[in-house]
Structure 1
């Protein structure tokens, strides 16, 4: 099995800090002023706000 390379994505989200749920995987995330994510090619993160500060 070959693992696909990932790309680091940094969200500058100081105005959107808070708790989020990924629409597709139903996993939760907490966004801080600067959040870094690892995304595989052709993947999507659709974050829905649970609580935003």
Structure 2
């Protein structure tokens, strides 16, 4: 699947107000992992600016 084909699918996931933020992140990761053969890891890092950690 191309990135152009993935964009509306990701948009659908993140605009769904019936699921939590964590579910949106998980569904986005699953979609990318299952759709792009050469991805061997998909995830998100969140910065804590106060402690300067991820």
Place the TM-score, normalised by the shorter chain, in its bin.
Answer: under 0.3
Largest Rg, 1 or 2: 2
Normalised by the length of structure 1, the TM-score is 0.24
Higher helix share: 2
